[in-house]
A and B are shown apart, each in its own frame.
Chain A
């Protein structure tokens, strides 16, 4: 068994894979946040709660309707997206003319409502949710054991991120979205329904969070607290990456996941805070973030 700086290879690769898995979640979630922020100028504090809702929906679909994982992968993000649209129409649209801080406060309140509601129904402990049979088990790669489901998480997340990038950069709908973000008034004047774009953007952004939730459900057991544990780290990721570019968020998310994984191997005490330390450093030397543009 070969060693790398005193750490056996299987352990190192195992942690790196886990790091990539966490990084995939960071990527998908910070992507959603960035898309929403770009369009609505709102920091969606409820993102973590909606991610949790995606996972809980997957469990609910299984528990009460007998619908399995693959159904949930399709239905839960749509469900969360629909709820997002309701939120946007009912609550968020009144805030666009106000100071941006109110958006943060309102979505914080929303996060409390959603989390409290699920805690009330299901307690604090997680619910059991099994890995679908097709993805169960692990592949023995020789230098490490690769659980199939964790590999799936990485693949699915990257696919979705790339799909989002493609849609925004290369399709006409994406062009309208980008135009509406740059100059809403002018875009509206061209006959494009900007409020509709805004609504769809928020729905899509939180739908991404819901998708991440379903992905997480078999791995970390759906529970009301899973979002709040994650959201602050995702905020730090977003500050590091800057909110300008999609590929930037993805790259930063994955990178930070890897760094966290490495930290767990070599210096575990720091693994929870390494993201924040990097954020502090970036703030001192490049305040707009790695890929951001000063707005």
Chain B
């Protein structure tokens, strides 16, 4: 019976089972944090790895959704599902606006423009009253979902897993769809894609908006988990972190961002108390090493290794 499913499908099923069992051995709040950032990185990878666009201000979508969700849950007392949706959709809308401006430039300039535009929104967050500025938005209620009281970490955990699996599936389908193929074509050879008649600008914008929306979902979920939204969520350091997670894990691979974010979040968590500011140095060093010698990332190198091994086997 197992043989009817491809190795990939079995692998995914195994992964989900592992996730469901994990709280028995690992602190669930840590795993939830990893899942949120993994989703953020997967959304980001859609743009970088598959469309070839480096957005250096992606944290603004994480932060915008975090604040919106926080606000509607705490101040307007909306139900949790509505709050999550609100944050996600606002992030998507913001993505549409920023994306339209940014795609007017290519390559490096695109990155700088996204950075500067997101910085503008960051300063807005800093000064707006509803965000609480430096204090942040605290005491966001988790509420409940379909009768489950989310104040219990255990219940919330399964909801977060469900959200992650659903979003991951969505990204997976997108990548393997005709839409995804066109995105890859744009990454490989944009002039060619144009000459083939595709409205490249429209596709880039769509990819940007989709990426922003899913990043928003990650931010909204994070607010519910930590009951908190702060400026850190929208700061450009966080934008840099998600680039690192994707690069380290492997750009343009499906699993790369998940691996990368798991490594980075766990590393930061474990090292923060022990080495203080050296964590930043370590992050920087990983960046430098990845760019110089490890550009395919963990999963990318893994796949290359696997292919070499099969090649060797067949060649013999």
CA distance A277 to B116 in the complex (A): 9
Stretch at the interface among A10-18, A99-107, A138-146: A99-107
Given A116-B279, A283-B104, does the pair A239, B113 have CB atoms closer than 8 Å?
A: yes
In the complex the two chains form, is B285's CB within 8 Å of A235's CB? no
A43, A94, A95, A111: the one within 8 Å of B112 (CB): A43
Q: Which residues of chain B have C-beta atoms less than 8 A from A105's C-beta? A: 243, 247, 287, 291
Give the interface residue-count category, chain A: 35 or more
In the complex the two chains form, is A276's CB within 8 Å of B111's CB? no
Q: Residues 86-122 of chain A: 1 if any B CB is under 8 Å from the residue's CB, otherwise 0?
A: 0000010011000011101110111111111101100
In the complex the two chains form, is B111's CB within 8 Å of A280's CB? no
In the complex the two chains form, is B281's CB within 8 Å of A116's CB? yes
Is the C-beta of A196 less than 8 angstroms from some C-beta in chain B?
A: no
- Cβ of A276 to closest chain B Cβ, rounded Å: 4
In chain A, residues 191-249, which have Cβ atoms closer than 8 Å to a Cβ of chain B? Answer: 228, 232-233, 235-236, 238-239
Chain B residue, CB-CB nearest to A101:
B54
Given A119-B277, A120-B281, does the pair A106, B291 have CB atoms closer than 8 Å?
A: yes
Given A104-B111, A106-B287, A280-B101, does the pair A113, B281 have CB atoms closer than 8 Å?
A: yes
Is the C-beta of B286 less than 8 angstroms from some C-beta in chain A?
A: yes
Q: Which residues of chain B have C-beta atoms less than 8 A from A279's C-beta? A: 113, 116
In the complex the two chains form, is A120's CB within 8 Å of B276's CB? yes
Q: Which residues of chain A have C-beta atoms less than 8 A from B240's C-beta? A: 108, 112
Q: Which residues of chain A have C-beta atoms less than 8 A from B111's C-beta? A: 43, 101, 104
A113, A273, A280, A287: the one within 8 Å of B288 (CB): A113
A95, A101, A116, A284: the one within 8 Å of B280 (CB): A116
B113, B279, B284: the one within 8 Å of A283 (CB): B113
B101, B113, B275, B284: the one within 8 Å of A113 (CB): B284
- Cβ of A109 to closest chain B Cβ, rounded Å: 3
CA distance A117 to B288 in the complex (A): 15
In chain B, residues 6-29, which have Cβ atoms closer than 8 Å to a Cβ of chain A? Answer: none
Is the C-beta of B73 less than 8 angstroms from some C-beta in chain A?
A: no
Is the C-beta of A135 less than 8 angstroms from some C-beta in chain B?
A: no
In the complex the two chains form, is A232's CB within 8 Å of B117's CB? no
* Interface-centre pick from B109, B127, B236 (highest chain A CB count, 10 A): B109
CA distance A280 to B111 in the complex (A): 14
In the complex the two chains form, is A109's CB within 8 Å of B108's CB? no
Q: Which residues of chain B have C-beta atoms less than 8 A from A91's C-beta? A: 288, 292
Q: Which residues of chain A have C-beta atoms less than 8 A from B277's C-beta? A: 116-117, 119-120
In the complex the two chains form, is B247's CB within 8 Å of A276's CB? no
Q: Which residues of chain B have C-beta atoms less than 8 A from A106's C-beta? A: 287-288, 291-292
Is the C-beta of A272 less than 8 angstroms from some C-beta in chain B?
A: yes
Chain B residue, CB-CB nearest to A277:
B120
Given A101-B107, A117-B281, A120-B278, does the pair A110, B288 have CB atoms closer than 8 Å?
A: yes
Is the C-beta of A269 less than 8 angstroms from some C-beta in chain B?
A: yes
Given A43-B108, A106-B291, A269-B127, does the pair A276, B117 have CB atoms closer than 8 Å?
A: yes
Is the C-beta of B232 less than 8 angstroms from some C-beta in chain A?
A: no
The DSSP consensus for interface residues of chain B is: helix
Is the C-beta of B202 less than 8 angstroms from some C-beta in chain A?
A: no
In the complex the two chains form, is B291's CB within 8 Å of A95's CB? yes
Is the C-beta of B119 less than 8 angstroms from some C-beta in chain A?
A: yes
Count of B residues near A, CB < 8 Å? 44
Q: Which residues of chain B have C-beta atoms less than 8 A from A273's C-beta? A: 120, 123-124
- Cβ of A34 to closest chain B Cβ, rounded Å: 13
Q: Residues 267-302 of chain B: 1 if any A CB is under 8 Å from the residue's CB, otherwise 0?
A: 000000001111111111111101110010000000
CA distance A113 to B240 in the complex (A): 13
* Interface-centre pick from B56, B278, B280 (highest chain A CB count, 10 A): B280
CA distance A91 to B284 in the complex (A): 13
- Cβ of A139 to closest chain B Cβ, rounded Å: 34
Given A109-B286, A116-B277, does the pair A239, B109 have CB atoms closer than 8 Å?
A: yes
CA distance A232 to B119 in the complex (A): 8
In the complex the two chains form, is B104's CB within 8 Å of A287's CB? yes
CA distance A117 to B236 in the complex (A): 19
In the complex the two chains form, is B117's CB within 8 Å of A110's CB? no
Q: Residues 108-133 of chain B: 1 if any A CB is under 8 Å from the residue's CB, otherwise 0?
A: 11011101110110011011000000
CA distance A238 to B285 in the complex (A): 27
CA distance A106 to B113 in the complex (A): 18
Q: Which residues of chain A have C-beta atoms less than 8 A from B108's C-beta? A: 43, 100-101, 104
- Cβ of A169 to closest chain B Cβ, rounded Å: 25
Chain A residue, CB-CB nearest to B283:
A112
- Cβ of B297 to closest chain A Cβ, rounded Å: 12
- Cβ of A119 to closest chain B Cβ, rounded Å: 4
In the complex the two chains form, is A110's CB within 8 Å of B292's CB? no
Is the C-beta of B105 less than 8 angstroms from some C-beta in chain A?
A: yes
In the complex the two chains form, is B281's CB within 8 Å of A108's CB? no
11 residue pairs A–B, Cβ–Cβ below 8 Å:
A43-B112, A104-B108, A109-B285, A112-B281, A112-B284, A115-B280, A116-B284, A228-B237, A276-B120, A283-B105, A284-B101
Interface residues of A (CB under 8 A from B): 43, 91, 94-95, 100-102, 104-106, 108-117, 119-120, 228, 232-233, 235-236, 238-239, 269, 272-273, 276-277, 279-280, 283-284, 287
Since A91-B292, A112-B280 are in contact, a sample of 8 more A-B pairs with Cβ atoms closer than 8 Å, ordered by chain A residue number, is: A95-B292, A109-B288, A111-B284, A113-B288, A272-B126, A283-B105, A283-B113, A284-B104
